[in-house]
Structure 1
Amino acid sequence: MSETDTDATATGTPDQRLHPWSWLFVLLQQLRQFIVPLLVLMFAGRGDHDAWPYAEYAEYAPLAGVLALVVVSVLQYFTYRYRIGAEGISIRSGLLQRNLREIPFTRIHNVGVHQSLLHRLFGVAEVRLESAGGNKPEGQMRVLGLQQALALEQLVRHHGSGAATTTGIAERPDGAAPAGQAEGRTLLSMPLGEVVRMGLVSNRGMLVVAAAAGLVAQASPERMMGNWLEQQVRGAAGYAEQLHLGWLGMASAALVLVAVAMAAIRLLSVALALSQYYGFRLIQTQGRLVVERGLFARLRTSVAPRRIQAWYQQETLLHRWFGRRALRIDTATGGGENDPRKLRELAPIATPAACEALFVHLLPGVQWPPAAWQGVPRRCWWRLFASSVPWTVLLVAVLWWHLGPWSLLAALWLPWSAYAAWQQAGRLGYVVDARLLAVRGGWWSRWWRMAELDKVQALQLQRSPLDRLLGTASLWLDTAGAGPLSPPLRIRFLPHAEARALHARLGRVLAARRMRW
């Protein structure tokens, strides 16, 4: 809620400022936003000085722009205040247009403490106060002293557990957290070996390479990239002919080059994992889950377990080779799906036993893994297989223009796709009890999706024309904060009578729970 400046509500703490170096970080943030216009002014000022009057002063335009940004950053430091009240946090800002923002403690669902490498050098941190929904934080403080930021996080955490005090920060002149507070219980930590394993099983290196290739392709003139690749291939082929390797030697050399490239991508993935997840710790303290991670930039974010809307376990083929699994969550807090500061991973990589123990610990009384899964008719495998047939036929048709009959080798994907669909149909299943609904799927890459019935917000029985022809139906369920990259919470290919009975059962449970609310 924003409004014009009014007298602050009487509280037990005085107004507090940001860190004295906050103007520098605000300046750097603004420079990143205006770097392109400043560069345009810089290069435009080097033109013909006789083109217009006072043109000789144009080269000073970028400097004037930077000075203006410095003034704005300093003014923001002197006009930004926040106050800790009995019921929430008040933030005042603005010089000409003054604003007052009241953020109740009950509205704050997540407190993020972010430290880049520059933050760590200055001993400061950025604090984000996030609520349910929305892509922007309720409050953002650039920047506070590290101890002051941690004390603010602890104060919000105390209030969430019913132990808040309005003097939690002001009592300490250095802004440190109150003495005697327990650090909390460490539920999961990732030693260096686990971080390396995560890099080996992830595809982050491939994503970076693909993004870099796309950027180069967009920045280079038309066909420059294609011509360069063609020259490299011709040069390698000519060098191979000089060595008289023959077709077997050339094939071996090509395989070696592919293996080296894949190894380099995996090493890049390991480096990225070390940068993001080094020192990972999941801590439970004062009714909240806190995650700390990062090598150069340290990130500390927290969420209350009651804010968790759904759970997602993933186990790819590489995960199984290493005997590992990942546990992620959906939360009803702000921030986009790709926001790195949003808490989405409770266990980026861990043993299956550790993931299951963590899930049971945070949902006491839930039986996991279930004693038995309710399967779906395995004859639905052909519906999974049919979705891949058109794409395979299209690929063969496209390759025919370039390879001729050799393009038919791509059709070998169809038997493999049929086998994979048969295996996936055998793993489809669901479990519904008095508290939890869970679905599972996948074969090559396996997954489990779980949600408490209290968190289900929508229930839909869906039938396509093919479902009506075959006498089947699907149940779709929705929760808040569901990410687009996670498998949907749905039960597919059920016999129509079974789907209707399950829909009615879940509908009665959800209606009864809403009446109790």
Structure 2
Amino acid sequence: MRSELGPSPLAADERRLHPLSWLFVLLAQLRQFAVPLIVLVFAGGRGDRWELYGAVGALALPLIAVAQYFSYRFRIADDELVIRSGILQRNRRHIPFRRIHNVSLHQNLLHRVFGVAEVHLESAGGVKPEAQMRVLSLADAHALEALVQSRGNQPESPTAAASEPERAALLLSLSTSELLRLGLISNRGMVVVAAGIGVLAQSGSDAFAIALKGIAQSLFGWANGQHLSWIGWALAGISLFIAFAAVLRLLSMLLAVLQFHGYTLHEQGERLSVEAGLLTRIRAHTPRHRIQAWTLRESLLQRWLHRQSLSVDSAVVQAANNQRSLRDLAPIAPPHTVTALLQRLLPAAGWPDLAWQPLHPRAWRRMLMIPIVVTVLACAALWLRFGNVALFALLALPWWWLRARRLAQFAGYALTDSVIAIRGGWPGHYWRLAEIGKLQVIGISSTPFDRRHGMATLWLDTAGANAMQPRLRIRYLPKAQARALLETLNARMQRNGIARVPPFGCPVLPDIADDGDHDPQ
């Protein structure tokens, strides 16, 4: 995808999508019905009249796709995008350019063959895109992308408007070797295998169970024929586990290359753009001021390979499996590269020279309590069933003690004039950074156990928080320190004129400040 555009081919008159738009709408509809159709063909009952009704319904999909093409129109106004759609119920939407926070272009192999692209326009607080154009010609897609970027960030002064646009600066590019490392570190292969098993299990077919049973019988039959000792059985089990893990890692490497091939991160003025993908090429943009929080991760494997990852939460609410939104700034990179990115994009954080503050001295005891209780109860239940052999479960207690001590030792927070940072995790580490001016809600909570130990938890919330990232909270703080930090953050938020609207179940900020026993979640 090229970003250098000539004059915009978009006119002020109403336009339709690309003439082949109906084909891609049809393919998207068929993809939604793919699994039910496969189950219907291979695992459905015979002579069921509902199967015939389903097949007749599938034949109506091409007519619906064509009707949607003729009913969808869009027009470019001075400061907004106007869209008319609907077959029986007509809809007219006005989308101001300033409301659009992210523009993403999606191109798979079929898109490239026909020279088209799918365009998604996303706004803050919405799970679904404000507009989904399936599909536009590549020239129209590039022109609309450039138009949204220019009109959505119009400068206030005419001098700035007359100046030449800044050139895009390349901040990061990933080689194939880095992508193989990413696949080796990640668990993408396991996610795909688990999803496949779930689909087969829900299909109602016995084919998967029969195949799994056949493989197990073959393996055990071979092992019995070899008359293995218990050492041989142990070695065979370890070898099988290693082979399975190797296959999963190879699958993860393949998926990493498919998703992030040709990955580049560019900065143009205040806008960041990411482009990646081998078979399906995706380009996403977001203004830098729309980034709400930053997450730096370093798993145990990443630490061994001297690598880290950097991702962001934007004002756009993102689904967990949404790859079209800009989320991964650096899927994998050396620590010095990640540090350089944070220093350039978030200079107010002063990374990595932060004054980290520890948790309560007895925080490790609170972290140890739940694992100890669960282990002892599980051991007691297993002892009633299996006898003294179950006591081996108590060997996990030293591990829980070590884990709690290391977690409490590493966890902490740091506060600068405009950024708050939180760190935690063990053996993998994570760091979360958020600008104070972008916090939406802050609050304090404390359980009965926290109050007994004089502790409290400080909760922070931003727009578009990602459920897949560690929560913005500081647990097991001394109660007085938590209240002082709350008052400091509250004063800086009020200085920035932020209107805090608490989420469901969270009292307004003054009530939280008066009563530290509320939980804002």
> Shorter-chain TM-score category?
0.7 to 0.9
Q: CA deviation at 1:298?
A: 0.9
Is 1:463 aligned to residue 455 of structure 2?
no
Q: Distance in 2 between matches of 1:242 and 1:336?
A: 51
Question: Following superposition of structure 1 onto structure 2, how do residues 75-94 of structure 1 map, counting pairs within 5 Å?
Answer: 75-94=67-86
Deviates more, 1:354-363 or 1:444-453: 354-363
SS at match of 1:502: helix
Change (3 A) 1:215 1:63: closer
Offset of residue 191 of structure 1: 0.7
Q: 1:508 & 1:214 partners in 2: Cα distance? A: 49
One-letter amino acid of the structure 2 residue matched with residue 434 of structure 1: D
C-alpha displacement of 1:436: 0.5
- From the superposition, tell whether residues 117 and 223 of structure 1 become closer, same or farther in structure 2 (CA, over 3 Å): closer
Residue 14 (structure 1) aligns with: 13
Look up the match of 1:502: 485
1:248-327, aligned counterparts within 5 Å? 248-327=231-310
Q: Is 1:212 the equivalent of 2:196? A: yes
Shift of 1:244: 3.6
- Distance, in Å, in 2 between the alignment partners of 1:38 and 1:206 is 25
Equivalent residue number for residue 414 of structure 1: 397
Of 390, 398, 403, 2:373 maps to 390
1:6 is matched with none
Within-5 A mapping of 1:32-431: 32-33=31-32, 65=57, 68-162=60-154, 184-219=168-203, 225=209, 232-233=215-216, 235-397=218-380, 399-400=382-383, 403-431=386-414
Cα deviation, 1:153-196, whole Å, max 9, x if unaligned, reads: 111111233279xxxxxxxxxxxxxxx97761111111101111
Whether the 8 Å CA contact 1:327–1:349 is kept in 2: the answer is: yes
**TM-score of the two chains, using structure 2 as the length reference:** 0.84
Structure 2: which 5+ residue stretches go unaligned? Answer: 1-9, 157-163, 501-521
Asked if the contact 2:171–2:267 (Cα under 8 Å) also holds between the matched residues in 1, the reply is yes
Q: Secondary structure at the match of 1:514?
A: coil
Contact persistence 1:311–1:451 (CA under 8 A):
yes
> How far does residue 34 in structure 1 lie from its aligned partner after superposition?
5.3
Going from structure 1 to structure 2, the CA distance change for 1:108 and 1:476 (only over 3 Å counts) comes to same
Taking a change above 3 Å as real, the CA distance of residues 506 and 150 of structure 1, as seen in their structure-2 partners, is same
RMSD: 3.1
CA contact (8 A) 2:117 2:135 kept: yes
Secondary structure in 2 matching 1:341: coil
| CA pair 125-500 structure 1, distance change in 2 beyond 3 A | same
Per-residue deviation, residues 200-235 of structure 1 (Å, max 9, x unmatched): 00011112222223333444568983x876665555
Identity of aligned residues (%): 47
Q: Which moved more, 1:430-439 or 1:504-513?
A: 504-513
SS in 1 for 2:84: strand
Aligned residues: 482
Letter in 2 for 1:343: L
| Equivalence for 2:509 | none
CA contact (8 A) 1:380 1:425 kept: yes
Task: Report the counterpart of residue 430 of structure 2 in structure 1.
Answer: 447
> Matches of 2:350 and 2:198 in 1, distance apart?
47
Task: Please state how far the C-alpha of 1:267 moved relative to its aligned partner.
Answer: 0.5
TM-score, normalised to structure 1, is: 0.85
The more displaced of 304-313 and 21-30 is: 21-30
Local SS of the residue matching 1:387:
helix
Q: Aligned AA for 1:212?
A: G
2-side partners of 1:32 and 1:157: how far apart? 32
* Residue-by-residue CA offset, 1:346-392 (whole Å, 9 max, x unaligned): 11111111112111211234311134211123432111111212332
Asked which structure has the greater CA Rg, the reply is 1
Q: Measure, in 2, the Cα distance between the counterparts of 1:295 and 1:213.
A: 26
Change (3 A) 1:368 1:406: same
Structure 1 residues 232, 436: closer, same or farther in 2, change over 3 A? Answer: same
What's the secondary structure of 1:374's corresponding residue?
coil
Q: Separation in 2 of the partners of 1:384 and 1:314?
A: 21
Q: CA 1:326–1:90 in structure 2 vs 1: closer, same or farther (change >3 Å)?
A: same
Deviation at 1:17, TM superposition (A): 2.1
- For 2:221 and 2:86, locate their aligned partners in 1 and report how far apart those are by CA, in whole Å: 68
Give me the whole-angstrom Cα distance separating, in 1, the residues matched to 2:457 and 2:430.
18
Residue 150 of structure 1: CA displacement?
1.6
Q: Tell me the distance in 2 between the aligned counterparts of 1:42 and 1:249.
A: 44
CA offset digits 1:248-293 (Å, max 9, x no partner): 2222122111111110110011111111111111111243111111
**Is contact 2:355–2:415 with CA below 8 Å preserved after alignment?**
no
Closer, same or farther in 2 for the Cα pair 1:123/1:396, shift >3 Å? farther
Give 1:393 deviation, angstroms.
Answer: 2.9
**Which secondary structure state, in structure 1, belongs to the residue aligned with residue 347 of structure 2?**
coil
* Preserved contact between residue 127 and residue 149 of structure 1 (Cα < 8 Å): yes
Relative to structure 1, the CA distance from residue 36 to residue 442 in structure 2 (aligned partners, 3 Å threshold; closer, same or farther) is closer
Structure 1's 223 and 89: CA in aligned 2 closer, same or farther, altered over 3 A?
closer
Cα distance, 1:394 vs structure 2 = 4.2
TM superposition shift of 1:428: 1.1
Query: Judging changes above 3 Å, is the alpha-carbon distance between structure 1 residues 40 and 462 closer, same or farther for their aligned structure 2 residues?
Result: closer
